[in-house]
Structure 1
Amino acid sequence: METNKLRILILFIISSFSLINCQNKKMEDKYSWLGTISAPKEYPMEIYKGAIIADDFTYGFDAIWGTQNTGWGNEGGTMSVETSQMDIPSKLEFTWYSLVENKFYTGKWDLDKEKIKNLFAKGFIDQDNGKKTTYSNFIVGLAPKGRVVLWINGPGNQKEVGFFQAHDTLITEEKAYGNAKYMLKEGFADRMLKDPSYETFKPEIRAKIEKEGYPDPGIYDLYREKYTWKPSVVLPEGSEWIDFGFNNYNGEQENLFGESLKEDTCKKRAVPKFCGFYWRDKNKNRYGVWIDSFEEKEIFELFRKLGKEENIDLTIKVNADNTGAVVSLKSGKEELPVTKAKIRLSRKIE
């Protein structure tokens, strides 16, 4: 009889520990996150409805978000919520109106929950305070032809966690819910696209569209192609490379410093769109170098020439007083100069 009591006690203790561990694990798996929208500057999208869905929380979108075209991969605004800790989302659904195409798209997709959970758990070090942090925003990217990308975003870091295809759908003014009926009014898309008073486009984007037309919708697939590359900085003797931050055409971004900079090797990455870094000379004077933009046709052509099978160094060679820099792509076979990038260099930073 005593033996049975002992067994029951042991089982109770084991069960209690298991329950506590499960509860702790469940709490550890919850994170604080919000959602926002991204769309190309040349392709404004009107939000109809959508949701990022977790088991215990749904972050919703509707017509109150209005017209979105902050730029591909760029985050827009967010809506505050009362919930502070949420499960990792498992589903995405979205319906939107593509003004240029004059067409509605819709779709529902399962998310790679394990991939997202692992990225949230791993997190990264925030360079500003040296502490571990993690991602805090989901960005839903809406592109022409019904392409959808989902990124997660945190300070200096952004990663693609999903790529989906929506299908077109028909929504009439009679069928639309009240707050969304405006986008079905006759001539709405034309007014938004062609009337400068609506300020749908920034003046430079409008001028570019008038000169070159809208970008090929296939460009958003091209942006996702990856090459094996890493940044490489050549500095005057005795200098110290401090960090390197960069955004890629596919919307991803990285911030390398400290150990992550030392340990960085060639990885599968999309073509860089812009980048910047700080360095110190032998006298501990600090300087900044920024490539505010690569010329799109040139940088893609140079990466294509070197090819996806090669390890590539994006090399930036800086002169002694930080008044000039030479940029190139370098593989084991050849080195190709980058001649059309817009480079900005600082004076000595106190």
Structure 2
Amino acid sequence: MLPATTPPPPESFRLSAAPAAAEGYPMEVIDGYFLPAAGNGSTGIPIAPEFLEGDWGHSAISWGVGNPIQPVPERFWVRWYSYPEDKFYEGHWLLPGQHLTELLRQGYWNTKDKQHETYDGLTLCLLPKGVVVVWLTGANQVLLGRYEGSEINYDFKRFNEAANRPRMVVQEQAKLPPAVQHEIKTHTLSTRRWDAYLKTYSWQLAFNRSLQLETFSLTCLNAERTHYPPTADLPTYVQNLLRPQTRAVPAHLLLLVDAGYGRRRKIRVDAFEEAETLAAFRQLHAARPDAPLTLFVETDERVSQARFFVKNDQQQVPLPHAKVVVYDAD
């Protein structure tokens, strides 16, 4: 008979929870937790009660626990109030546990400090219609999933004992942006905008001339960002941008290139124009669904200016409203 073995303790990391709401769609957390597997002796990471504003993928709030080194969470739940809808929501969901553990274990290579680091937060954005989107956050940010909760009947006096509900709703909704107020009046509140951000395509970067890409920083519309490589292997990291990979539409980009003759340039896109870029990706993907797309960079010989296009194997669409700056790297 084989001797009994004790299973290894769960891996632990220093994590905190950071809730947010999309700009113009304020929410308020009532309660919530990121929870580890049952029976491992941990209380989990709280999502503390808070009035949320913030924005998609970004939070200025961070709540930890007394001992923030915690086992990797297995699931989470959250209960909240939506001001634009005057509704309460709640949801209980499983996280992609193995993927989350692998990401935390791998972390990324800090190219400035020359050291390995890993993620330190879980960011969740509460949206209308009971939708919640969660990212693993650090210098890099990785999408973990989109989840849908359910509307619940919750005692408003437990939420806000002093408030007159009808009066409070009128006052709070009057503070919202005109576009959001119009959605409320016309009953057109939805998550279409953010769902479009989550759409991914197979795309790569390419240049019109021979430039050596040394490193890059990329933020996509789905709020994923890549500032540091997963390992110290920079050549492999750079190649991942130069060959087709499944990613969301780019939002911001910084490229460091060697243009030859001792010239090193930074090509920075402070912002791709959202509607223009989404439309280009949709149009070219619809025309050739099986062909990978290319984010094409056209520069002059001295690499003193740059223009961007989206291409498939048959046509290209310019992105004239991308805010591009080119300057010396040194």
What range describes the TM-score normalised by the shorter chain of this pair? Answer: 0.7 to 0.9
Q: Which amino acid aligns with 1:188?
A: M
Name the residue aligned to 2:296.
315
SS of residue matched to 1:246? strand
1:52 aligns with 2:34: yes
One of 75, 89, 96 as aligned partner of 2:73: 89
One of 229, 243, 246 as aligned partner of 2:218: 246
Does the 8 Å CA contact 2:268/2:325 hold for their aligned counterparts?
Answer: yes
Evaluate the alpha carbon distance shift between residue 210 and residue 150 of structure 1 in structure 2; reply closer, same or farther with a 3 A threshold: closer
Determine which structure has the larger helix proportion and give its number: 1
One of 90, 109, 112 as aligned partner of 1:106: 90
CA RMSD of aligned residues (A): 2.9
Q: For the residues of structure 1 that align with 2:64 and 2:228, how far apart are their CA atoms?
A: 30
Q: Where does structure 2 lack aligned partners over 5 or more consecutive residues?
A: none
Name the residue aligned to 1:169.
152
Evaluate the alpha carbon distance shift between residue 326 and residue 91 of structure 1 in structure 2; reply closer, same or farther with a 3 A threshold: same
SS of residue matched to 1:43? coil
1:222 aligns with 2:206: no
Does the 8 Å CA contact 2:75/2:95 hold for their aligned counterparts?
Answer: yes
Give percent identity, aligned residues only: 20
One of 254, 259, 262 as aligned partner of 2:239: 262
One of 15, 20, 37 as aligned partner of 1:38: 20
Cα deviations by residue, 1:57-105 (Å, 9 ceiling, x for unpaired): 3221233x22x23221123321243214211101110111111122111
SS of residue matched to 2:17? strand
TM-score by length of 2: 0.83
Does the 8 Å CA contact 1:226/1:270 hold for their aligned counterparts?
Answer: yes
Does the 8 Å CA contact 1:243/1:256 hold for their aligned counterparts?
Answer: no
Name the residue aligned to 1:298.
276
Which shifted more, 209-218 or 249-258? 209-218
Evaluate the alpha carbon distance shift between residue 83 and residue 234 of structure 1 in structure 2; reply closer, same or farther with a 3 A threshold: farther
Does the 8 Å CA contact 1:44/1:99 hold for their aligned counterparts?
Answer: yes
Does the 8 Å CA contact 2:142/2:225 hold for their aligned counterparts?
Answer: yes
Evaluate the alpha carbon distance shift between residue 216 and residue 174 of structure 1 in structure 2; reply closer, same or farther with a 3 A threshold: closer
TM-score by length of 1: 0.79
Does the 8 Å CA contact 1:42/1:215 hold for their aligned counterparts?
Answer: no
Q: Map residues 118-267 of structure 1 onto 2, 5 A cutoff.
A: 118-155=102-139, 157-176=140-159, 180-181=160-161, 185-195=165-175, 206=177, 216-234=190-208, 240-255=212-227, 258-259=234-235, 260-264=237-241, 265-267=243-245
SS of residue matched to 1:159? strand
Evaluate the alpha carbon distance shift between residue 182 and residue 229 of structure 1 in structure 2; reply closer, same or farther with a 3 A threshold: farther
Evaluate the alpha carbon distance shift between residue 171 and residue 154 of structure 1 in structure 2; reply closer, same or farther with a 3 A threshold: same
Q: Which amino acid aligns with 2:156?
A: E
SS of residue matched to 1:135? coil
Q: Which amino acid aligns with 1:218?
A: R
SS of residue matched to 2:198? coil
- State the structure with more CA Rg: 1
Q: For the residues of structure 2 that align with 1:240 and 1:154, how far apart are their CA atoms?
A: 28
Q: For the residues of structure 2 that align with 1:287 and 1:181, how far apart are their CA atoms?
A: 59
SS of residue matched to 1:191? helix
SS of residue matched to 2:223? coil
Q: For the residues of structure 2 that align with 1:289 and 1:211, how far apart are their CA atoms?
A: 39
Q: For the residues of structure 1 that align with 2:163 and 2:197, how far apart are their CA atoms?
A: 30
What is the CA-CA distance between 1:30 and the residue it aligns to? 1.2
Q: For the residues of structure 2 that align with 1:215 and 1:296, how far apart are their CA atoms?
A: 20
Q: Where does structure 1 lack aligned partners over 5 or more consecutive residues?
A: 1-7, 196-200
SS of residue matched to 1:326? strand
Cα deviations by residue, 1:292-347 (Å, 9 ceiling, x for unpaired): 2222221111111211422111122233555421101122222221122122333x
Q: For the residues of structure 1 that align with 2:146 and 2:161, how far apart are their CA atoms?
A: 29
